[in-house]
Structure 1
C-alpha cells in the first residue's frame, strides 16, 4: 500500500512539473506574441518544422523545398521552429551583412550540441570576442605571404605524388574520394606537419557523421560512434602536441624565425601561456574538418561544371598552358603562378556559387534585435543562407546558368558567401584556394577526362557530396 501511495505521489509531482513547464512556455510564447515577430509558422510543439528541414537537407534541396516556399509566402525574413529552438531565417545581402557584421555584439555562433561536443568546446567555432580573435590570429599567421609561399611547393609535391600513386595506370577514378584523401593529407602533412597514419581519414569521417545527430549516447548510434572516434583522435593529437612541445622547449625563437607549420605556431602559443593544450587539439580537429571536406566538394563541383561547359574548359586550359610554358621541366609552381590563375578561380567561385560547400549557419540573438520592422527576441536562433544570395537574380542575373565572367568585377559585400563572412569568415580560405588551384592545374595539364554520370545528384549527410562519388574516365596526355 505504501508503495502504491509513493508511486501515486511521484506521478502527481511529475504531472505538476509538466504542467508548470507547459504553463511557463505558454506564458513566454504569449509575451513574445506581443512583439512584432517575423511572420511564419512554428509547426508542432517542441518538434516544430525540424522533420521538414531535415528531409529537405538530405535531398540537398533545403532552399528549393524549405526556404523558397516560405520566402514566397512570408517574405525574405520569416520565423519557424527548428531543433528545439524558435528560429528566424533571413535572406539577402543586407540581412547577411547585418547579421554577420554584428557577431559578438547582437549575435553569437550557435551550433547544435553534437557539433560542439565533437568539434570541441575550445575551438574557434565556440569561442567569442577576444578569445576568438586570439586563436584566429594564431591560425591566420600561418597563412600570411611567407606561409603561403612555403605551402605552394609542398602542396605541389603532394598533388604530384597523389596522382603518381593513385591515378597512374588507372582509367577510372572516384574524383570526390580521391580529392578527400589528397586534401586530408595536405592539411595534415603540409599545413600541420603531422604524418598521416593508416585509418586516420576513416576515423575523422566517423566523427563527421555525428555532428548533426541527436546527442544521445546509445551504443551503436551515430553520435555514439562519432564520440568514440573523437576520443581516438584526441588521444593521438595529445601525444603529438606533447611531443612537439618537448621538441620546441628552449628553441622557441629558432622555431618562430623559421616560420614553422601551424602546429608549431599553436604549440609556441601554448608554451608562452597564450592558449591551452585543449585549445590546440580542438582547433586542429576543427581545421581538418573545415579544410578537407568542403574543399573536396568544391573541387568535384568545379570539374563537373568544366565537363558540362567545354568552352569554359578551353579558356581555363589556355591559362594553365601559358603558365606551363614559362616553367622549366620539373620546376614547381610558385605563389605568383597561382595568382595568374584568375580565370580558374572565377570558374571555382562560380561552381561554389551554384553548389555552396555550406548551406549557411546558425547564430543566437544575445539581445532583442530590431530589424526591418520586426523583433527577433533574445535567445532565438537566426539562420542565414548562402542560397539566399547565390540563387537570387537581384545579385546574379540568370542565377541557374554557369557564367564565370560574373566574377570579372568585384561583387558587393555579403553576396558571395561560400566561405562565410564577418569575423567568422573561414580561417582556412587561402589554404582551400591553393588546394583547388594547384589540383586543377596538375589534372587539366596532365589528363583528359570525362564524367561517367553527367547528371549525378548531389546529396547531403551531413555535408553535400556527389551521390556516386563523381567517377571520371581519365586518359594521360601525351607530351
Structure 2
C-alpha cells in the first residue's frame, strides 16, 4: 500500500511537471509583452500549483484511512477533514456537540475523524479515559500541533516527547506539590488583596475576564520567577493574548495571520525572559538570590543525570509554557466562578458564609494560611462544579507509538487520539442532570474515577492542579468578602477558542459591602 501511494505521488508530480514548466515560462515571458497572456499564465500557474499541492496532500491524508478494521466514523473533506466542524461547535458555545453527535451516530465509545490534517480517533467515556491515561508512554505519547513546536522551538531539540515530559516532571514537583505550596498561601493572599484594592474597589462596574487574567498572570510571574514590579509584569503580559491565539491557529506564517502574530509575541516575551534569566544567574552567583525561591532558580541550578544544565533559551521556553499554563486556564475558571455565583444566589450565600467564618476567625490583618484554605470545602466543591460545566481544558491529544487494538478496533501507529472532558462531564451516564449546577456531587467520595478530568489524568495529569486550587480559592475568598454582583448581560454567549470565555468578557455591576 505504501509503495502504491508513493508511486501515485510520483505520477502526480510527473503529470503536473509539464504544466508547471509551461506556465512558469509564460509567466516569465510577460516581461517582453504586457498583455492578457500574463494574467492567463498567472492563473494557470496558480491553478496548477494549488491542484498539485491538494492532490499530494490528499494522498497523504487519504492513505491512513485504508487500514483494516478502523473505528466507525468519517474522515471529512480532503486535507481539512472535520476540523471546521470540530472548531465551530466551540465557537458557538457547544463543544460537546461534535462529540455527542458522533457518539449517537456511530453508537460507539470510539470513532474516527480527521482534525488539523491528521487522522484521529476520539475516545469517549470513563473506560476510554482510563485506557488512555494508563497507557501513557506505553502505547501513546503526548502530541502537539505543529504550531506549538514553531512557537516553542526548543521542544524539538529533545530526542523525544517522552524525554521532554519526564524532564519537566522532575523539575516541577518541588514547587507545585501541596507541601511546597503551603509557604506561598500568604503571598497569594497579599497579591489578591492588592489586586482587588487597585482594580475592583471603588468601581461600580468591572469586566471580569481581563481582570482575572491580570490576577493569575501576576501570581505566575511572582511565584515562577519572582517578578513583582507591575510595569515589568505589564510588559510581559502585553503580547500574551496574541501568543495564546497563535498557538492553536492554522500554522500559516504570513504577515497578519494569528500564527505570525503568535510567533512574534513569543519572541518578544522570550527576549524579556532571557534578560531576567541572565540577571538571575548573576544574582545567584553573588548570593542575592536563593536556590529555592522559585522555579527559575531551580531550573538554572538543576542538572540532568549526565550533569548537563539547561541552556538559557530552553529555560525561557519552559517558563513561557508555565506562564501560559499557569494563568490562562485558571483565569477562565475564576471568570466562570463569578458567572455562576451571579446566577445562583443560594450558592453564593453558602460560599459567603463559609468564607466569612474564616475571615472572622483571624486577627485583623493576618493573611490566609494552609489551614484556612483546607476549610474552604464547599467553595472548592463549587469550583469543581464550574470546572465540570466549563472545563478550561476541553481535552487533549496523544499519538499512537505502536499499532494496537482497542474495543476491537485497530488503531494504527502514528494516528492521533483525542480525549474529551465533555464526553464524561456532560454525560448523564456519569452525572445525573448534567446541565444542573450541583456542588454536592463532589461531597464524600465524589464522582467515579476517570469521569471528572479537568486536569487530565495518569502520568500527564496537570502538575499544577494544587497550585490552581490555591489560586482559585484565594481569589474566591477575596472576592466574596468584598462584593455581591450581578451580570450586565444576562444571556451572554459563551465561546470556546480554545478556552471557554464569555463573548463580552463578563461585565458585572458591583455591590460592595460596607466596611
Cross-structure match for 1:172: 205
Cross-structure match for 1:409: 444
Match of 1:204 among 236, 240, 244: 240
**Does the CA-based 8 Å contact 1:124-1:136 persist in structure 2?**
no
Q: CA 1:134 to 1:299, structure 2 compared with 1: closer, same or farther past 3 Å?
A: same
Q: Does 1:69 align with 2:83?
A: no
Gaps of 5+ in 1: none
* Farther-moved stretch of structure 1 (370-379 vs 443-452): 443-452
- 1:203-250: CA deviations, max 9, x gaps? 111111111222222111111111111111111111111211122137
DSSP-derived class of the 2:397 partner: strand
Cross-structure match for 1:213: 249
Q: CA 1:445 to 1:38, structure 2 compared with 1: closer, same or farther past 3 Å?
A: same
Q: Does 1:80 align with 2:80?
A: no
In structure 2, what is the Cα distance between the partners aligned to 1:111 and 1:26?
21
**Does the CA-based 8 Å contact 1:270-1:276 persist in structure 2?**
no
* Farther-moved stretch of structure 1 (67-76 vs 195-204): 195-204
Of structures 1 and 2, the larger Rg is shown by 2
In structure 2, what is the Cα distance between the partners aligned to 1:43 and 1:311?
46
Q: CA 1:24 to 1:202, structure 2 compared with 1: closer, same or farther past 3 Å?
A: closer
Q: Does 1:418 align with 2:466?
A: no
Q: CA 1:469 to 1:24, structure 2 compared with 1: closer, same or farther past 3 Å?
A: closer
- 1:45-82: CA deviations, max 9, x gaps? 22211222222222232212x11111001122111111
In structure 2, what is the Cα distance between the partners aligned to 1:123 and 1:153?
38
Q: CA deviation at 1:274?
A: 4.0
Cross-structure match for 1:356: 391
Query: Cα RMSD (Å) of the superposition?
Result: 2.8
In structure 2, what is the Cα distance between the partners aligned to 1:122 and 1:335?
35
Cross-structure match for 1:134: 167
**Does the CA-based 8 Å contact 1:368-1:378 persist in structure 2?**
yes
In structure 1, what is the Cα distance between the partners aligned to 2:463 and 2:54?
45
Q: CA deviation at 1:384?
A: 0.4
DSSP-derived class of the 2:274 partner: helix
Q: CA 1:209 to 1:29, structure 2 compared with 1: closer, same or farther past 3 Å?
A: closer
Q: CA deviation at 1:383?
A: 0.6
Q: CA deviation at 1:455?
A: 2.1
Match of 1:304 among 329, 336, 339: 339
Q: CA 1:324 to 1:22, structure 2 compared with 1: closer, same or farther past 3 Å?
A: closer
**Does the CA-based 8 Å contact 1:153-1:332 persist in structure 2?**
yes
Match of 1:463 among 488, 492, 499: 499
Q: CA 1:130 to 1:54, structure 2 compared with 1: closer, same or farther past 3 Å?
A: closer
In structure 1, what is the Cα distance between the partners aligned to 2:218 and 2:156?
21
Q: CA 1:378 to 1:467, structure 2 compared with 1: closer, same or farther past 3 Å?
A: same
DSSP-derived class of the 2:290 partner: helix
**Does the CA-based 8 Å contact 1:304-1:454 persist in structure 2?**
no
DSSP-derived class of the 1:293 partner: helix
In structure 1, what is the Cα distance between the partners aligned to 2:336 and 2:53?
52
Gaps of 5+ in 2: 1-17, 25-44
DSSP-derived class of the 1:281 partner: helix
Cross-structure match for 2:413: 378
Match of 1:116 among 128, 138, 149: 149
Q: CA deviation at 1:150?
A: 2.1
Cross-structure match for 1:153: 186
In structure 2, what is the Cα distance between the partners aligned to 1:103 and 1:371?
15
Q: CA deviation at 1:190?
A: 3.2
**Does the CA-based 8 Å contact 2:114-2:120 persist in structure 1?**
yes
**In the TM superposition, what are the counterparts of 1:217-366 in structure 2 within 5 Å?**
217-249=253-285, 255-256=290-291, 259-269=292-302, 273-366=308-401
Q: CA 1:55 to 1:17, structure 2 compared with 1: closer, same or farther past 3 Å?
A: closer
Q: CA 1:101 to 1:178, structure 2 compared with 1: closer, same or farther past 3 Å?
A: same
Cross-structure match for 2:511: 475
Q: CA 1:7 to 1:53, structure 2 compared with 1: closer, same or farther past 3 Å?
A: same
Q: CA 1:234 to 1:376, structure 2 compared with 1: closer, same or farther past 3 Å?
A: same
- 1:234-281: CA deviations, max 9, x gaps? 1111111121112213759x834xx31121111222696343323311
Q: Does 1:396 align with 2:431?
A: yes
Q: Does 1:7 align with 2:21?
A: yes
TM-score (norm. length: structure 2): 0.85
Cross-structure match for 2:224: 191
Q: CA 1:372 to 1:236, structure 2 compared with 1: closer, same or farther past 3 Å?
A: same
Q: CA deviation at 1:9?
A: 11
In structure 2, what is the Cα distance between the partners aligned to 1:123 and 1:335?
39
In structure 1, what is the Cα distance between the partners aligned to 2:353 and 2:126?
34
DSSP-derived class of the 2:430 partner: coil
Q: CA deviation at 1:128?
A: 3.2
DSSP-derived class of the 1:417 partner: coil
In structure 2, what is the Cα distance between the partners aligned to 1:378 and 1:100?
17
**Does the CA-based 8 Å contact 1:109-1:125 persist in structure 2?**
no
TM-score (norm. length: structure 1): 0.91
Q: CA 1:17 to 1:437, structure 2 compared with 1: closer, same or farther past 3 Å?
A: closer
**In the TM superposition, what are the counterparts of 1:38-53 in structure 2 within 5 Å?**
38-53=71-86
Q: CA 1:26 to 1:434, structure 2 compared with 1: closer, same or farther past 3 Å?
A: closer
Cross-structure match for 2:473: 437
